[in-house]
Chains A and B, each alone.
Chain A
Amino acid sequence: MQQTQSENREINRPSSGGSGEGKPKPPRQPLSLTDLGLRVAGLAFVDGIAIWFALTLINNNNPIPAILILLVTAVINYIFLSNRLYPIRWLTPGLVLLLLMVIYPIGYNVYISLTNYSRGNALSREQVVTQLKEQTYQPANAITYSWTAYRSPDGQNYKVILVSADKSKAFIGDASGLKPTAIPATLPDTLDGYTRLTPFQAAAAGEALAKYNLKSGDLAIQFTSSTEAKEILSKYSYDAASGNLTDLETSTVYRPVRGTFTAPDGKTLTPGFVDVVGIENYTKAFTDPSITGPFIGVFIWTFIFAALTVFLTFWVGLLMALVLNDAQLPLRTMWRVILFIPYTIPGFITALIWAGLFSIGGPVGISSKSLFGEGFSWFADPNAAKTMLLFINLWLGYPYMMLICLGALQSIPTDMYEAATIDGASQFQKFWGLTLPLLLVSVGPLLIGSFAFNFNNFTIVQLVTAGGPANPTTTTPAGQTDILISYTYRLAFTSGDLAFAAAISLFIFAIIATITAFSFRFTKQLEEVLT
C-alpha cells in the first residue's frame, strides 16, 4: 500500500474557517432540503422498526433489552440530527451492527463463561420454579372420583359429574367451578341441555376440562384417565425471599446450590437453572484431572498443527515460487495456473474430497492398506490422522505462500544479487544470506496471520476427522486430532457444556490476541494506519 503524502493533511474546507487542528470540524454545508428529507425519512424508518421491536420485547416481559434498544435509537436520532456529530453519522450503521453481532456476543460470551450454562441448566430460575411448581402429588387422604362428561350443543363447553369412589360425594363441574350435588342413582343422558359423552369421546373433553382448573377446597382435580379423576396438590412451594423450594409431600427443603435445587441429603431436582459460578470454568481446565489431561493434549496439538502447517506451506510454497520465478522455465504460466488451483477450491470442498480419498474405500486408503497392512486406517490411528490433516492442509495452503513468495521474490532488487556475485557468493550463500532474510521481512507478518488462521481452522478438522479418533481415556469430548476451536464446538454442541466452551473460546482469544499484538510490534502497520 502506498501511503500518500497528503494523508496527514486536514481537509481545509473554505467555509469552516477558524477551527484549529485536531478539533472536530463540522462541514458547514448549505442546508439541503433533500438531504434533510432523506435523513428524516431514514430515521422514521429506523425508529419505526425499533419501536416495533421494543414493543414485542415488552409484550414478552423483556423490558431491559427494550429500554436498551430505545436508548440506542435515541442516540442514533441525535447523531443524525446534530451537525456537530457529522463524521459519526458515517460510522453509526457499522457501529450498530458491530454492537449487535460482535460486541454484545463477546460480552455475553464472557458472562456465559462465568455461569454454569449447560444442557441441564439452560433455563432461568423463574422458568425452573414455574416448571417445578406445575408438578403435583396425591395426598394420602385424597379422594378418587369417577367422571362423566357432557358437551354443549355447540361443542364449545363441557360439564362434568364427579362421583367419589365410595359414592359418598358428588359434584357438578363447569367453567365456573365445582358445585356439590346429590349423588345421582343413574347418570342422566342430558344435563342442562348438554349431551352425555361416551368414555371414547371423553379424551377431548378431558383436555378442555383440565383447563377449567377445577378445585375441591384447596385440592385440584386431575383427570387421570377417561373415567377416573383424582384430587391432587402442588408438590413444591417456592419462597422467593430465601430462594428455597419446599417439597410439600415430604417436607424436604431444597436449597439452590450453584444452579440446582439440592436437598440436605444431596438429592437434586431437574432441570437446574443458570447461575453465576465465577471463574470455575477457567480453573477447572487446569485443576480437574479428568479435563486437564485431554485439554493439555488438545492445546499442544493446536500449536503443533498451526506451526507445522505454516512451516510446511511456507517451505513448499517457497520451493514452488523459486521454480516459477525462473523466467526461462518452459510453460511457466501453465504451471503457475495449475499449482494455484488448490487455492481456488473452497476449503470445505477440498477437505471433504481428501477425506473421501483417504477413507477406507478411497484410493489412498486402499493403497495404504497394501503398504501398512490390512487393518490400517488413516482415521483410526492418531498419528496417521494427524499426518493426514497436515498433508491436506499443506495441499490447501501452499499456493497462498507460493503467490506471496513469488511477489516478494520479484520485489528483491537484482543489483543486490549482482553485488553478491561480485563478492563471490555461491548460489547457496545468496539464498540464505540474501533471499531468505529479505523474503521474511515482507512475508513475516503473513506467516503470523496464517498461524492465527490455522489456529482456528475448524473446517478442516471437523470435516476430515471430526476430531477423531476418540480418546478412550477421557470423558470430555476431546478427540485426538481436535484443536481448541473444534473442542469448543464439541463441548458446546455435543456435550452441551456451553459455559465451559465459552471459557475455552476466551482462552483462544487471549492466545490469538497475544500473538497478533506481538506481530504488531514488528511491523509499522499500526502507526501507519492510525495516522
Chain B
Amino acid sequence: MADVKVRSAPAAAKTGGATISGARRLNMVLKLVVAFFASLLALYPVVYVISASMNPTNTISDLIPANPTLANYSKLATDQNYPVLLWLFNSIKVSLLATVIGVFLTTIGAYAFSRFRFKGRRNGMLFILLIQLFPNTLALVSIYLLLLQIGDLIPWLGLNSHLGLILVYAGGSLGSGTWLMKGFFDTIPKDIDESGVVDGATGSQIFFFLLLPLLRPILAVMAILTFIGTYADFILARVLLTSKDNYTMAVGLSSLLGEGGANRASQWGLFAAGAVIGAVPVVVVFLFMQKQLVGGLTSGAVKG
C-alpha cells in the first residue's frame, strides 16, 4: 500500500486539499480490493483443476492433494479407454483444416467483393449477410441427415467422418468471414493494385504477391480466432461424431465427466488432467498474442 501513497501524493497535491487525497486513497484501496477478489474468483477453478489433476485419489473435494502425482496424466497417455491425446490430435486436425479451408475461401471471396465491380455484387453481399444470420448450428437436423445420407454412398465424407465435419465448419465460417475480410481488403489502398496492373501483373499475381503479404497480420489473427472457435465447438461435433476414436476434445472430455446430472465425481482426476491438456494450448496462444487477438476480436464482432 505504500506504493499507492507515494503515487497518489502528487495527484493529491495537484488537485489540492486533504479530503480529495483521502477520497483518492480510499478509491484506490477499493479498486485493489475489487481486483484482488475478482482475481481470486477468476483463478479459483483454474487452480482447483490443476491440483485435482495431480490428486491421486480421483476425488473432487480437496484443494491441495496430499500426495501430488502425475499418475492421471500418464494414465491418459497410455490407457486406451481414455484416448485424450487422440482427441486432442483430432481436435487440432479438424480445427486446423477447417481454418485453412475457411480462411482461404473467405479471403479469395472477399478479394472479389472488394476489388471488382460486377453484376450482382451488392445482392451477393446482402445474400451472404442473410446466410450469416443462420448459423449452421441451427441447421443441425438437416446437416445431420445430409451427412447420414452422404455416408451411405461415401463413408469418408458422411456421419462420423472428420472430413464431413471439417467441411461443415469451413462452410459455417464463410458468411461472417467474407464480410470481415472484405472490410480488411477495403483498408488497403487500390493504388497498390494499380501499381501491379501497370507492371503487368495478373489478378492472381496481385492477390498473392501484393495484397496477401499486406494482410498477413490480420490473416493470422483471423486464422487463430477461427481455429479457437472451431476447437471450442461442441454441438456439431457431438451430433456428427459417433465413435469414441473420432471424438474431438470437447466431445471426449464431456464423455469423460458425463453430460448433465448432479454427480460428476467418478473420474474427476482424469477429467482434470484432460482439461489441463485441452486448455493449455489455447490459453498459451491467447496470453502470448493477447493484444493482436483482442484487436481482431473487437473489430470482428463489430463487423458481424
List residues of chain A with CB under 8 Å of any chain B CB.
1-4, 6-7, 9-14, 21-25, 27, 29-30, 32, 35, 53, 56-57, 60, 62, 86-91, 93-95, 97-98, 100-106, 108-109, 112, 117, 319-320, 323-324, 326, 328-330, 335, 337-350, 352-357, 359-363, 365-366, 377-380, 395, 400, 403-404, 407, 445-446, 449, 456, 458-459, 462-468, 485, 488-489, 492-493, 498, 501-502, 505-506, 508-509, 512-513, 516, 525-526, 528-531
The verdict on A323 contacting B34 (CB below 8 Å), with A90-B108, A350-B45 known, is: yes
Give bound CA distance, A357 to B59, whole Å.
11
Complex contact B264–A359 (CB within 8 A): yes
Q: Which residue of chain B lies nearest to A385 when distances are taken between CB atoms in the complex? A: B262
Give bound CA distance, A525 to B126, whole Å.
12
Main secondary structure of the interface of B (DSSP, over half): helix
Q: Sort A-B residue pairs by CB-CB distance and give the 8 closest, nearest first.
A: A466-B260, A101-B171, A361-B265, A87-B116, A90-B112, A344-B286, A379-B262, A94-B105
Give bound CA distance, A330 to B33, whole Å.
12
Which residues from chain B contact A30 at a C-beta distance below 8 Å? 200
Give which listed residue, B8, B39, B188, contacts A339 with CB less than 8 A: B39
Which residues from chain A contact B282 at a C-beta distance below 8 Å? 344-346
Complex contact B141–A11 (CB within 8 A): no
The verdict on A529 contacting B45 (CB below 8 Å), with A27-B203, A101-B168, A377-B262 known, is: no
Give which listed residue, B31, B179, B193, B279, contacts A349 with CB less than 8 A: B279
Proximity string of chain B (98-110) to chain A, C-beta cutoff 8 Å, 1 when within and 0 when not: 0001000110110
Complex contact A525–B304 (CB within 8 A): yes
Give bound CA distance, A353 to B49, whole Å.
7
Which residues from chain A contact B193 at a C-beta distance below 8 Å? 11
Which residues from chain B contact A25 at a C-beta distance below 8 Å? 116-118
Give which listed residue, B187, B238, B290, B303, contacts A525 with CB less than 8 A: B303
Which residues from chain A contact B43 at a C-beta distance below 8 Å? 338, 341
Which residues from chain B contact A445 at a C-beta distance below 8 Å? 301-302
Complex contact B112–A340 (CB within 8 A): no
Q: Does B81 contact A (CB under 8 A)?
A: no
The verdict on A463 contacting B259 (CB below 8 Å), with A109-B139, A395-B41 known, is: yes
Complex contact A462–B186 (CB within 8 A): no
Q: Could you tell me the distance in whole angstroms from the C-beta of B275 to the nearest C-beta in chain A? A: 5
Complex contact B145–A108 (CB within 8 A): yes
The verdict on A102 contacting B136 (CB below 8 Å), with A360-B265, A361-B60 known, is: yes
The verdict on A360 contacting B263 (CB below 8 Å), with A330-B3, A339-B39, A353-B275 known, is: yes
Complex contact B105–A505 (CB within 8 A): no
Q: Which residue of chain B lies nearest to A491 when distances are taken between CB atoms in the complex? A: B141
Give bound CA distance, A377 to B261, whole Å.
10
Proximity string of chain B (181-203) to chain A, C-beta cutoff 8 Å, 1 when within and 0 when not: 01110111111011001101011
**Number of chain B residues close to chain A: CB under 8 A:** 129
Q: Which residue of chain B lies nearest to A404 when distances are taken between CB atoms in the complex? A: B298
Told that A361-B263, A513-B134 touch, could you supply 15 new A-B pairs with CB distance under 8 A? A21-B117, A24-B119, A27-B203, A30-B200, A32-B202, A35-B202, A101-B167, A109-B138, A326-B28, A359-B265, A379-B262, A403-B294, A458-B235, A462-B259, A530-B125
Complex contact A344–B174 (CB within 8 A): no
List residues of chain B with CB under 8 Å of any chain A CB.
3-4, 7-8, 11, 28, 31-32, 34-35, 38-39, 41-43, 45-46, 48-49, 59-61, 63, 101, 105-106, 108-109, 111-119, 121-122, 124-126, 128-131, 133-146, 152-154, 167-168, 170-172, 174-175, 178-179, 182-184, 186-191, 193-194, 197-198, 200, 202-204, 207, 228, 231-235, 238-239, 249-250, 253-254, 257, 259-265, 268, 271-272, 275, 278-279, 282-283, 286-287, 290, 294, 297-299, 301-304
Give which listed residue, A10, A14, A509, A528, contacts B198 with CB less than 8 A: A14
Complex contact B203–A91 (CB within 8 A): no
Complex contact B133–A512 (CB within 8 A): yes
Give which listed residue, B112, B130, B172, B186, contacts A88 with CB less than 8 A: B112
Complex contact A459–B234 (CB within 8 A): yes
Complex contact A90–B111 (CB within 8 A): yes
Complex contact A349–B117 (CB within 8 A): no
| Most A Cβ at <10 Å: residue of B42, B142, B234, B263 | B142
Give bound CA distance, A104 to B204, whole Å.
30
Give bound CA distance, A125 to B279, whole Å.
48
Which residues from chain B contact A27 at a C-beta distance below 8 Å? 197, 202-203
Complex contact A326–B31 (CB within 8 A): yes
Give bound CA distance, A326 to B4, whole Å.
12
Give bound CA distance, A56 to B155, whole Å.
12
The verdict on A348 contacting B253 (CB below 8 Å), with A1-B302, A98-B131, A456-B135 known, is: yes
Give bound CA distance, A462 to B172, whole Å.
21
Q: Could you tell me the distance in whole angstroms from the C-beta of B210 to the nearest C-beta in chain A? A: 12
Complex contact A328–B197 (CB within 8 A): no
Complex contact B48–A363 (CB within 8 A): yes
Complex contact B174–A349 (CB within 8 A): no
Complex contact B202–A489 (CB within 8 A): no
Complex contact A502–B141 (CB within 8 A): yes
Q: Could you tell me the distance in whole angstroms from the C-beta of B10 to the nearest C-beta in chain A? A: 10
| Most A Cβ at <10 Å: residue of B129, B135, B141, B144 | B141
Complex contact B28–A106 (CB within 8 A): no
Q: Could you tell me the distance in whole angstroms from the C-beta of A8 to the nearest C-beta in chain B? A: 9
Which residues from chain B contact A342 at a C-beta distance below 8 Å? 42
Complex contact B35–A449 (CB within 8 A): no
Which residues from chain B contact A337 at a C-beta distance below 8 Å? 287, 290
Give bound CA distance, A346 to B228, whole Å.
8
Complex contact B35–A324 (CB within 8 A): yes
Which residues from chain A contact B294 at a C-beta distance below 8 Å? 403, 407
Which residues from chain B contact A403 at a C-beta distance below 8 Å? 294, 297-298
Give bound CA distance, A329 to B31, whole Å.
8
Complex contact A501–B271 (CB within 8 A): no
Complex contact B234–A323 (CB within 8 A): no
The verdict on A362 contacting B61 (CB below 8 Å), with A11-B197, A104-B146 known, is: yes
Complex contact B153–A329 (CB within 8 A): no
Complex contact B202–A345 (CB within 8 A): no
Give which listed residue, A106, A326, A498, A530, contacts B126 with CB less than 8 A: A530
Give bound CA distance, A53 to B301, whole Å.
39
Which residues from chain B contact A60 at a C-beta distance below 8 Å? 152-153
Q: Could you tell me the distance in whole angstroms from the C-beta of B137 to the nearest C-beta in chain A? A: 6
Which residues from chain A contact B111 at a C-beta distance below 8 Å? 90
17 A-B pairs whose Cβ atoms sit less than 8 Å apart in the complex: A1-B184, A23-B117, A27-B197, A30-B200, A90-B207, A91-B109, A97-B174, A323-B38, A339-B35, A346-B228, A346-B250, A356-B60, A359-B265, A377-B262, A459-B232, A463-B259, A529-B303
Complex contact A407–B298 (CB within 8 A): yes
Complex contact B142–A106 (CB within 8 A): yes
Give bound CA distance, A458 to B232, whole Å.
12
Complex contact A7–B141 (CB within 8 A): no
Which residues from chain A contact B105 at a C-beta distance below 8 Å? 93-94, 97
